[in-house]
A and B are shown apart, each in its own frame.
Chain A
Amino acid sequence: MRSYLIRLQKDLLKNKAIYFMLLPVLAYYLIFQYGPMYGLQIAFKDFIPAKGFLGSPWVGFKHFEDFFGSVYFGRILKNTLLLSLYSLVFFFPTGIIFALLLNEIKGRIFRKAVQTISYMPHFISMVVIVGMMFDFLARDGLVNNIIAMFGLEPVSFMRSPGWFRTTYISSEIWQNIGWSSIVYLAAISSINPSLYEAARMDGASRWKQMWHVTLPGIMPTVTIMFILFIGKFMTVGFEKIILMYNPVIYETADVIQTFVYRKGILEANYSYSAAVGLFNAAISFTLLIGANMTAKRLGETKLW
């Protein structure tokens, strides 16, 4: 211990320029990332602003019990899990499939054009995307006009609870299919070309090559992206939901994070919503570790 401190002292002196550079970054992380983690203690307290974090009285798991016993608990947990699960099943694979198909396009210019166009919506702001959704999906909007051309009844997409998940996930796909394919395209381009040659020699068709060469080649990347996706499982784009929802569709659209926002920021129930937020973060973290461990056990690439 002593010798470590002496070495550290020498190191601090020798590399003082480097430690000086590290200082503002470290300060940022301690204040704005670890500060809120320290503040999480209010989830176990009755936070009284005038008494501060330390002065407010401890109440144990009271807020968690309130939350688990509340009428909202079942609904928002179900909404969060379903929306995440649907994202995983319907949105996550689109980037991979799009990359595989795009890779089969041989014309360089055509391919470049498709790529450039498909990345574009990723740079459009959430506010604009949701604004466009309200416009295109309105009762007299583009989509309903097309539906009417086929002689079908118009649908109030943005105001019916039954359509929320569909509109949410389709718009996610629309906005991010190209962007999420970048990593996979990069992984495909680093596959050794001789593997394809060998496969062709053995008479493998294009489908077979895709299945037996390309897909295994990008599996490590898929695993990493999957683990990262699982880590975000419970924090599905709540900013977008806040823009999209209104009390009419709370029934399907209200997720844990939006509930935290409403209870905490709008209604100033700080301790209660911090507890709800902590519950969410804890599940996310557990899922992430679980996914990573599973990947490790299966001998696949892991995050750490």
Chain B
Amino acid sequence: MLMKRSLGEQTFDIGNSILMILISLMTLYPLLYVLFSSLSDPQYVVQNRGLLLYPQGLNFDAYRMVFRNPNILTGFGNTLFYVTVGTGINILLTALGAYALSRKNVMLTNPVMFLIVFTMFFEGGLIPLYLLMRNLDLLDTRLAVILPSAVSAFNLIIMRTAFQSVPESLEESARIDGAGDWTILFRIVLPLSMPVVAVMILFYGVSHWNSWFFATIFLQTRDYFPLQVILREILISNDTNAMSVGVGTSDQMAIGETIKYATIIIATVPILFLYPFLQKYFVKGVMIGAIKE
């Protein structure tokens, strides 16, 4: 039965829809602007500052210069390394911990769980961490970017919750067939929890892809810098001159702008491509994480 809607409700619906469209446009336009500008002729970008509805004077020079830049390329390579190795370690440790802590009749799991949860609310802070890294001789090594964030308590709890919901009867029958904990984890629990593993890959992967702070304080050698640190130089310290050599000075500023936009696109598109496929999973992940216990 469809109820007749009052005038007030109809006005609300229309107003609400308009608001939602506005929010979507405000979210989307800056991103589209960056995309359009990166593909435009630098001169048009300068002329049209801020208002561009499609790429004007289609032009790939900015991308060509960005991809010729050795800093961007090594940064990109380093980021790929940090993302794959870092996420690999993250997933392995989180899965091991989550499995161990999801067992009911193991004596030390509760105190360990308390130790882990406590770190979500209190931490030693930046300076002691920095000194610890120095004492461990980890400064200026690739591991310095990966190890301090090897496990996240939040993600561990999400995964533990998922593991707990695997039916116990499955494990019991496997145990009767002679399977040990390693087999149960890797052959039964983990395959049944693939949606959560996908969320974990997304969360950890994105945070490695986007992280810059640890790299800034722990690394000195440029060859180890991830893409975001290079991006910071280009976007915030405004250092595009090195890339636009061979261009006349008057054009240099203009092309500098499009170089900025092109680097933003290169650093952002891989993530944005990945996430719609994982969307249905991460909504679940966020839910489990927030409504724990």
- A residues sitting closer than 8 Å to B (CB atoms) are 7-8, 11, 15, 17-19, 21-22, 24-26, 28-29, 31-40, 42, 47, 49, 52-53, 98, 101-102, 104-106, 110, 113-114, 116-121, 123-128, 130-132, 134-136, 140-146, 174, 177-178, 182-183, 185-187, 200, 205-207, 221, 224-225, 231, 239, 242-243, 257, 260-261, 264-265, 270, 273-274, 277-278, 280-281, 284-285, 288, 304
Contact = CB atoms under 8 A, between A and B. Distances in A.
A26 B3 CA distance: 59
B132 A200 contact: no
A120 B275 contact: yes
Nearest to B210: A125
A28 B51 contact: no
Main secondary structure of the interface of B (DSSP, over half): helix
Interface stretch (B55-63, B99-107, B166-174): B99-107
Given A101-B16, A119-B275, A142-B50, A224 B290 contact: yes
A47 B127 CA distance: 11
A128 B49 contact: no
Interface of B: 3, 6, 8-9, 12-13, 16-17, 19-21, 23-24, 26-28, 30-31, 33-34, 49-51, 93-94, 96-97, 99-101, 103, 106-109, 112, 115-116, 119, 121-132, 134-136, 147-148, 150-151, 156, 180-182, 185, 206, 209-210, 212-213, 217, 228, 231-232, 234-236, 260, 264, 267-268, 271-272, 275-276, 279, 283, 286-287, 290-291, 293
A131 B106 CA distance: 50
Contacts of B97: 21-22, 24-25
Given A22-B101, A264-B130, A278-B125, A145 B210 contact: no
B125 A260 contact: yes
Contact of B127 (A26, A125, A277, A285): A277
A232 to B, nearest CB: 10
B115 A36 contact: no
Contact of B180 (A17, A25, A104, A118): A17
Given A127-B232, A134-B235, A225-B290, A40 B124 contact: yes
A50 B289 CA distance: 43
Contacts of A174: 26-27
Contacts of B3: 200
Nearest to A186: B287
A116 to B, nearest CB: 6
A40 B106 contact: no
